[in-house]
Structure 1
């Protein structure tokens, strides 16, 4: 079976993947939902030194400690930068990357009113630090982009989705859900992840 590593977006912990985690595990897959350092139940670890590199290290340390190989890394929003960095640093352990509604850049914000009540403020340095890559992103077998088409109003992610749809090195999907696809379209997202694991 496949090993999935699920990385949340800003202000969220691994708990936001609870339903998806249970479904994937119920099908026999190994699933590691990540709560980044300084967030949620790990907010007590927040310091001025927590940045994007810290969150990338959260994932690479997990891959090493759990001896995970051929992983499917799933990043929601900000988590897309984290999985990209982790795949760059440990390419031999990563098979595929799945991006859920990810934009090229963003700004730090407090948890928005529609966020889960467990959301906590996000470390500012982690979104201000540029992502530095050392390797070739083509070293992973597959890269998927999952676009949330059900925003109330225009999605800020539409330009990224349109660009990747025209790129033959990406597989794109459009789901009728808001930005938190794991909450708004869990069944369809589960199908996509199972497809990534088997093809």
Structure 2
């Protein structure tokens, strides 16, 4: 399968991501030099990669190939009702369902020191997993993720117009069961060109996203991040407005490392080399 924007050398990776200015926040900068140095000779690690809205474990294919070639163990579960588990879509799916999908993957495979990566909406269940089983987690990575505080729902991080449109679409298409997958992949979000192999590959594999996972409150027993090593990676070319509130929240908190990658919202599709470098360097 063709890969859009992939680059295989370290100098290309240097151009693909940069350390961010702290600006208004407390999150600590990770410099380009530190990323490259850390990634130059990575030890084998265990990764659990959690996908975002409308996707499935398949979306990590390019990154999974690269990580496994380096000797890492990689798991890419699909959330219940999505991806290869679309046949399990039902009305009682909540954010707790997604949390259990991740916890049971980690428990059943007897994983420890996991690098737990949450892309986009998966930042919500990943935060809860880090709260529940910190003894199994070595590092939390939020990849252009939705991040919300305890007591709020995933939708609380979205702009009101985005919430309204997703709710209306779910009601119209599925009687409130799930938000239907987008009919067109907006270039500013997906970074893919219509008519290309990757565009068609992604479009035909999208599935609806269970509405209940957006609307059920998050319940955290500990502060967000639970004291674990944690990194937020922001996609900057262009930025996705849906993520703005979450990025601002992370920048306002201490204990987070901050990095940027010059890609649209789905770098696992368009910049797998640069993203792999970042993931092996955290």
Tell me if both proteins adopt one fold, taking TM over 0.5 as the criterion.
Answer: yes
Tell me by how many angstroms 1:168 deviates: 3.8
What is residue 142 of structure 1 aligned with on the other side? 229
What is residue 90 of structure 2 aligned with on the other side? 47
124 and 160 in structure 1: CA distance in 2 versus 1, 3 angstrom threshold: closer
CA contact (8 A) 1:161 1:172 kept: no
Larger radius of gyration: 2
- Please list every run of 5 or more consecutive structure 1 residues that lacks an aligned counterpart in the other structure: none
Whose helix proportion is higher, 1 or 2?
2
Matched, 1:182 2:268: yes
Within 5 Å, give how 1:104-143 maps onto structure 2: 104=148, 105-106=157-158, 107=163, 108=166, 109-112=179-182, 113-114=184-185, 116-117=202-203, 118-143=205-230
**Aligned counterparts of 1:136 and 1:164: Cα–Cα separation in 2:** 12
Matched, 1:88 2:131: yes
CA contact (8 A) 1:91 1:139 kept: yes
Q: Indicate which of 93, 101, 108 corresponds to 1:58.
A: 101
TM-score by length of structure 1 reads 0.90
- Please list every run of 5 or more consecutive structure 2 residues that lacks an aligned counterpart in the other structure: 1-43, 149-156, 167-178, 191-201
Q: CA RMSD in A?
A: 1.9
168 and 179 in structure 1: CA distance in 2 versus 1, 3 angstrom threshold: same
Listed one character per residue, the Cα deviations across residues 18-52 of structure 1 (whole Å, up to 9, x for unaligned) are 01011111101110011000002111111111111
Tell me by how many angstroms 1:174 deviates: 1.2
**Aligned counterparts of 2:106 and 2:250: Cα–Cα separation in 1:** 27
Tell me by how many angstroms 1:186 deviates: 1.5
Tell me by how many angstroms 1:164 deviates: 3.1
Q: Indicate which of 160, 164, 171 corresponds to 2:257.
A: 171
